[in-house]
Every structure is written in structure tokens, then in C-alpha cells.
Amino acid sequence: MALVNTKKMFEMAYKNGYAIGAFNVNNMEITQGIIEAVAQEKAPLILQVSRGAREYASNSWLKAMIDVAVRENPDIPIAIHLDHGDTFKTCKEFITDGFTSVMIDASSKPYEDNIALTKEVVDYAHKHNVVVEAELGQLGGIEEDIVGVGHDDISKHLCDPEQVQDFVKRTNVDSLAVAIGTSHGAYKFKKEPKLAFDILEEIGKRLPGFPLVMHGSSSVLKEFKDLINKYGGKMPDAMGVPEEAITRASKMGVCKVNIDTDLRMALTAKIRQIFAEKPNEFDPRKYLGPARDAIREMVKHKLHVLGCAGKAKECS
Ligand code: G3H
Ligand code: 13P
Ligand code: ZN
């Protein structure tokens, strides 16, 4: 199967109450670990590339690695996505380079500007059979007891379901990243994790069938956090989104779940462990290999949390 866009994946995910994992790729070991996991679990996949990834590895290298993954796994539907595209020009470049999905993130702009830029990208992308994700609201934690729609302070940052309806209608966008209390990185909550599920519920009533996206959805797995802290790292207060919350969201219209931090932590934890336990090791294959294995096992586990394990065929 050639690269696909996310249309069929999202249709099946919404209908059957699961989500597709969208994993950030930055190098060969990360890419291979993810691919081995979806191949073993027969899961559909979204591989995403950020601007930082492109600056680090270059677009042509990342795209070439992904092309190999697609060629070697003909039974797995794979979409290749630009994560957090910031301008029309960037989105256009990625579309020209063969990406099947792009995100235009104009969420920090005024509402009408976000609409105008998103619409410009959608009009161009759809002519090339490429789907578009946009974003409404600002990512960030929900502090203390302030949760959900209707609260004056927090509703300024979280996404407003009424605006979602208007935004989707006016832009014709294919999916939308909604701010419900998650944030990027390893420090998502100061105390107890809280997400505004009421926003998902309200959007589901207003726009049934419309696919939503959750950014900042790493769980900061205890296994890797403990290894990092044990072997010289310093991430004592790291906290992620509980996996039960991810599973719950995947049954409420969230069809794409973005994961990067958990990949970084798995890789870092394994490398730290090997450096500490075998200080004379200097063959990169001896520490990058186990790090790649750790990524594979972590992603396999995630595919079950998301509910998309075994769904490759129905998404093809
Ligand atoms: O959106 C955030 C992702 O974790 C990508 O991060 O821009 O450092 O590659 P990055
Ligand atoms: P995490 O930092 O939680 O992995 O989120 C990644 C993300 O949202 C990429 O767009
Ligand atoms: Zn993101």
C-alpha cells in the first residue's frame, strides 16, 4: 500500500471508538522502533515530522526513511504528517515533498486570522488529496480545580465548542487539535492530571463524526522516568496524561493522539542505563539497538491503549 492520507483511518477510528497513534520521528532508531511495533501489532500509523526534526535530520533523509518503511510494510496504512506547520509556504513545501497530511497551527493568531490561513491551506491541500489538521485554543495545563467549559479564566485558553463548529464550517478543515488541558513535554501537570472531557462531549454533540486530535498526549511512563532518575538523570517532577484518559478520549471523537515525549524518554532511559551499567561500552549499536527495542515495546503497548492494534486492515 502506498502512503495514505488519514481519511479512512479517522472514519474507522471514530466509528469504532479508537485512536491512531501519531508518533514524532527524528532519526532512524526512532522510526524503526515505531515501524517494528505497528508491523507486529498490525496497526495503522501516522508518522509526523516537526520543524525541529526537519532542521535536525533534513526532510529528504526523514522522507527517505519513511519511504523505506512504507515499501517494506505493504499491509500497514501509513500517513506522513507535518506537525505544527506555521505558514502556508511550509505546508506547501511538505505537500510538494509527498506528505499526505499537514497541520497548520495558527492557534496563536486572532480567530479570524486562524480561519483565513487554515482555509488557504485547506483549499490548496485538498487539490492534492492531502488532508489538513488545524488547532483551536492554547495547549496548557488546567490548574487546581479549574476544569472545563464555562469557567472564565480557563475557557480563554481551552477550546470553545461553539467556535469549533463555526471554525470547521468556515474552513472545511479535516480534523482539529483541541486544547483540553494537555501540553507538550514531560511536565504537564503540577499536581493531579485534569482534562476537560466536557469539551469533547459538547463537540461530539455539535459535530458528530468530526475527528479531533489530542496533542501533548505522552504519559511519561513510570518505567522510563524511574530509569532516567536512577541513572543520573533529573526529571523527578515529570508527569504526563494518564493512559486511562487517552483511552477515554479515544472513545469521544479523538481519532489522533500525538506522542513524542514518551519516545524521547524511552530512548534516553535505555541509553542512560547502558552507559551507567557498562561504562566501557563505546559501540553505538550496543546502546542505540536496545534503545530502539525499548521504543518498539513502548509503542506496542501504546497501540493497545489507543485501541488501534489489529486495525490495519480495516483502515486500508
Ligand atoms: O510538538 C511538539 C513535538 O514534540 C515536536 O517537538 O519541535 O522539538 O521536534 P520538536
Ligand atoms: P508530547 O510532548 O506529550 O509527546 O506531545 C507531542 C505532540 O503533541 C507533538 O505535536
Ligand atoms: Zn503538538
In this predicted structure, what is the pLDDT of residue 145? 43
Q: Cα dist. 17→9, 196, 216, 248, 313 in Å? A: 12, 18, 20, 9, 16
**Could you confirm whether 105 is annotated as catalytic?**
no
**Given the C-alpha cell 507535518, which residue does it identify?**
82
Distance, in Å, from the CA atom of 108 to the CA atom of 99, rounded to the nearest integer, reads 24
Q: Degrees (nearest 5) of the Cα angle 138, 116, 79? A: 70
Phi, psi of 86 (to 5 degrees): -110, -15
Q: Is 258 in the pocket of ligand 2 (CB under 6 A)?
A: yes
C-alpha cell of residue 218: 505522552
Instruction: Name the catalytic one among 67, 75, 83, 113.
Output: 83
Residues 6+ positions from 150 with CB-CB distance below 8 Å: none
Ligand 3 centre and the CA of 283: distance in Å? Answer: 33
- Check residue 139 and give its pLDDT: 82
Q: What is the CATH number of domain 7-315?
A: 3.20.20.70
Could you tell me which of 167, 49, 180, 177 has the C-alpha nearest to residue 118? 167
Report how far apart, in Å, the C-alpha atoms of 248 and of each of 19, 33, 170, 243, 282 are. Answer: 10, 26, 29, 9, 43
CA of 185 to the centre of ligand 1 (A): 8
pLDDT in tens, the chain (316 residues): 679 999 999 999 999 999 999 999 999 999 999 999 999 999 999 999 998 999 999 999 999 999 999 999 999 999 999 999 999 999 999 999 999 999 999 999 999 999 999 999 999 999 999 999 999 988 875 544 444 444 444 456 899 999 999 999 999 999 999 999 999 999 999 888 999 999 999 999 999 999 999 999 999 999 999 999 999 999 999 999 999 999 999 999 999 999 999 999 999 999 999 999 999 999 999 999 999 999 999 999 999 999 999 999 999 9
185 lines ligand 2 (CB under 6 A): yes
Q: Using the mean position of ligand 3's atoms as its centre, give its distance from the Cα of residue 258 in Å.
A: 7
What's the distance, Cα to Cα, between the start and end of the chain in Å?
A: 8
- Let me know: does 177 contact 130? Beta carbons within 8 Å: no
Task: Report the predicted TM-score, pTM, of the whole model to 2 decimal places.
Answer: 0.95
Residues flanking ion ligand 3, Cβ below 5 Å: 215
- Write down the H helix ranges in 128-280: 161-171, 197-206, 222-230, 243-250, 261-277
> 9 to each of 5, 16, 131, 314, how far by Cα in Å?
8, 11, 12, 8
* Ligand 1 atom nearest 261 alpha carbon: 4
From residue 151, alpha-carbon distances to 114, 154, 157, 199, 316 in Å are 23, 6, 10, 12, 42
Write down the pLDDT at residue 157: 83
Q: How far is the CA of 195 from the centre of ligand 1 (A)?
A: 21
Predicted confidence at residue 190, as pLDDT, reads 87
Domain range summary for the chain, segments of one domain joined by +: 7-315
Judge residue 312's burial from the number of C-beta atoms within 10 Å of its C-beta, 0-12 exposed, 13-18 middle, 19 or more buried.
buried
Which protein residues touch ligand 1 with a CB less than 6 Å away? 24, 50-53, 83-84, 184, 260
Q: Extract the runs of DSSP E, i.e. beta strands, from the chain.
A: 20-24, 45-49, 78-85, 101-104, 131-136, 175-178, 212-214, 254-259
